């Protein structure tokens, strides 16, 4: 039976779903993308005769389904990149994930002793969990190490105190990492590695956006349609069934048999008619965090070795600095410059979000010089890229607000919500790609996947594998 399927958003999740769906010739797939190109937050852009991503995007997954899709699209047009991402704190570089002896050596003997006894105190008299990020990390590292290596950066990113940040963020992004595991690894007594942090990762030779441009090209080659610069106003819901879309440029309703949404979850819910009062109230409690990317053209090379740095200095607003010179040569070619991307985070009502491009440039230029990371080299130009609602905010207890909304939306027939925006989940690329794959299977095969579980309990993959220099290899995970 032929189905007319609408997909809102041409980011990784939406494109992965469309890519799988157009392989079935009975599907008529129509995508609506608010911007002028595919990729969502994983776009690549040309800047100063170089290629850069919208922030650092490394691809890494153990899931064979995701890896097969990625390789199917990319082919052999990728290279393996040695991963180096460190914490920059008090003008020193600390490995991340934390390496116990490296960290204790660099903080100095007095602070190292404080860290040790703080951890011992935690083991003897554990802090009582209050479901916050602070107590989750403190229970695994002690109060002192938490304050040095987790607190400042996390509060920059989320704009709330760590006592008000849900521990779900830690369980998703740090998982089971703890000081005891770090010490065991250092002593070679345990070989398990933190699952989200690989020593190498596969990277497309034309930037991350190459993956999604190729997906878009494939979709259109199979008679799928992608409408750019076409934001969706709302999903039409009638009698508990999603039946169509209304675009922001028209009041006309276009009918569809199935709808996959990656639009911000709160926007989707707000437009549903006759919402129960409780549902409407809960949706108003969910917030997203914005990102301001400031790209700096530095006249010189060999600044520092990292792919990106986490900036833990409390006197700087910048949270992360990406060095695109340290990815692959294809990004910069013969150019003797370095492009740094400085990330700032804010809410809609923060002053930073209202800054002009010139004000953002001045702030970033001042702060990068203050770090000493560019040494004596000059900054000649800047480019500003603002991302509205880049991160779903995990305020403490957010699941109590989100879960009833998920349950409500799941009752709407023929509607699936996927992706970082659409599912209100802090996804990596692989999580969003998996959501797209599973959403397509729900339509093509009536698979019945619960997409809300992706990036929660989907760590036990059906089959483990890794992408290496030679392609796909089985892994113990």
Is 404 domain-assigned? Answer: yes
Give the total residue count for the chain.
477
Report, as an integer, the average pLDDT of 304-312.
96
Copy the structure tokens of residue 447: 């698979």
pLDDT digits (tens, 9 = 90+) for 177-189: 666 665 555 555 5
Read off the pTM.
0.93
Residue 218 has pLDDT above 80, yes or no: yes
- Residues 261 and 207 both lie in one domain: yes
- The tokens 């409390």 sit on which residue? 314
Would you call the peptide bond into 97 cis, given omega within 30 degrees of 0 as the criterion?
yes
- Residues 109 and 250 both lie in one domain: no
User: Residue 461's pLDDT is what?
Assistant: 46
- Residues 182 and 223 both lie in one domain: no
- Residues 206 and 182 both lie in one domain: no
- Residues 181 and 212 both lie in one domain: no
- Residues 179 and 207 both lie in one domain: no
Is 461 domain-assigned? Answer: no
pLDDT digits (tens, 9 = 90+) for 70-85: 999 999 999 999 999 9
Is 238 domain-assigned? Answer: yes
- Residues 214 and 164 both lie in one domain: no
Residue 164 has pLDDT above 50, yes or no: yes
**Do the beta carbons of residue 321 and residue 338 sit within 8 Å?**
no
Is 308 domain-assigned? Answer: no
Range of the domain at 159: 97-186
At residue 417, φ and ψ (nearest 5 deg) are -110, 125
- Residues 272 and 408 both lie in one domain: yes
- Residues 117 and 178 both lie in one domain: yes
Structurally, the chain folds into a number of domains equal to 2
Q: Which residues contact 351 (CB under 8 A, 6 or more apart)?
A: none
Copy the structure tokens of residue 58: 């490394």
Q: Check residue 471 and report its DSSP letter.
A: E
- pLDDT-based confidence at residue 112 (cuts at 50, 70, 90): confident
Is 149 domain-assigned? Answer: yes
- Residues 125 and 176 both lie in one domain: yes
Which of these three, 131, 160, 186, is where a domain ends? 186
Copy the structure tokens of residue 401: 């607000």
User: Residue 460's pLDDT is what?
Assistant: 47
Is 111 domain-assigned? Answer: yes
pLDDT digits (tens, 9 = 90+) for 356-408: 999 999 999 999 999 999 999 999 999 999 999 999 999 999 999 999 999 99
At residue 202, φ and ψ (nearest 5 deg) are -80, 140
User: Residue 477's pLDDT is what?
Assistant: 52
The CATH number covering residue 448 comes to: 3.50.50.60
- Residues 214 and 278 both lie in one domain: yes
- Residues 101 and 180 both lie in one domain: yes
Residue 132 to residue 119: CA distance in whole angstroms: 18
Residue 305 has pLDDT above 50, yes or no: yes
Is 101 domain-assigned? Answer: yes
pLDDT digits (tens, 9 = 90+) for 254-291: 999 999 999 999 999 999 988 888 898 898 899 999 99
Copy the structure tokens of residue 157: 């990113």
Residue 192 has pLDDT above 60, yes or no: no
pLDDT digits (tens, 9 = 90+) for 20-38: 999 988 899 999 999 999 9
Is 337 domain-assigned? Answer: no
Residue 195 to residue 460: CA distance in whole angstroms: 12
Measured CA to CA in angstroms, residue 356 lies from 35, 61, 349, 364 at distances of: 21, 38, 15, 12
- pLDDT-based confidence at residue 459 (cuts at 50, 70, 90): low
**Do the beta carbons of residue 461 and residue 89 sit within 8 Å?**
no
């Amino acid at each position: 039976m032929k189905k007319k399927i609408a997909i809102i958003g041409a980011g990784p999740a939406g494109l992965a779903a469309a890519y799988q769906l157009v392989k079935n010739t009975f599907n008529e797939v129509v995508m609506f993308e608010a911007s002028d190109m595919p990729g969502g937050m994983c776009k690549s852009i040309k800047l100063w005769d170089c290629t850069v991503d919208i922030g650092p995007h490394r691809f890494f997954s153990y899931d064979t389904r995701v890896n097969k899709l990625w390789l199917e699209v990319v082919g052999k047009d990728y290279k393996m990149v040695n991963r180096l991402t460190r914490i920059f704190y008090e003008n020193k570089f600390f490995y991340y994930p934390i390496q116990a002896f490296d960290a204790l050596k660099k903080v100095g003997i007095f602070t190292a002793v404080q860290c040790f006894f703080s951890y011992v105190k935690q083991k003897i008299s554990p802090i009582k969990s209050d479901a916050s990020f602070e107590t989750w990390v403190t229970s695994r590292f002690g109060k002192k190490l938490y304050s040095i290596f987790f607190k400042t950066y996390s509060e920059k990113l989320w704009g709330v105190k760590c006592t008000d940040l849900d521990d779900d963020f830690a369980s998703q992004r740090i998982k089971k990492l703890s000081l005891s595991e770090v010490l065991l690894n250092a002593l070679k007594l345990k070989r398990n590695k933190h699952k989200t942090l690989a020593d190498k990762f596969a990277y497309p030779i034309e930037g991350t956006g190459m993956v999604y441009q190729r997906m878009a090209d494939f979709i259109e080659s199979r008679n799928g349609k992608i409408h750019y610069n076409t934001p969706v106003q709302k999903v039409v819901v009638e009698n508990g069934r999603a039946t169509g879309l209304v675009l922001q440029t028209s009041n006309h309703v276009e009918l569809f048999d199935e709808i996959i949404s990656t639009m911000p979850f709160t926007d989707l819910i707000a437009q549903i008619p006759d919402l129960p009062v409780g549902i409407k109230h809960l949706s108003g409690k969910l917030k997203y965090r914005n990102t301001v990317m400031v790209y700096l053209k530095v006249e010189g090379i060999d600044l520092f070795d990292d792919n990106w740095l986490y900036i833990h200095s409390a006197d700087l607003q910048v949270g992360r600095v990406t060095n695109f010179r340290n990815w692959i040569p294809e990004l910069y070619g013969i150019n003797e410059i370095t492009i740094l991307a400085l990330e700032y985070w804010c809410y809609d009502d923060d002053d930073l979000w209202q800054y002009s491009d010139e004000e953002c440039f001045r702030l970033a230029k001042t702060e990068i010089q203050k770090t000493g990371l560019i040494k004596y080299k000059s900054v000649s130009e800047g480019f500003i890229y603002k991302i509205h609602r880049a991160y779903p905010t995990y305020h403490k207890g957010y699941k109590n607000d989100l879960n009833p909304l998920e349950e409500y939306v799941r009752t709407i027939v023929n509607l699936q919500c996927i992706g970082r925006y659409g599912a209100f989940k802090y996804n990596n690329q692989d999580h969003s790609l998996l959501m797209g794959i599973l959403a397509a299977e729900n339509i093509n095969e009536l698979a019945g996947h619960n997409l809300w579980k992706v990036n929660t309990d989907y760590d036990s993959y059906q089959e483990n594998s890794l992408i290496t220099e030679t392609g796909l290899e089985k892994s113990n995970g």
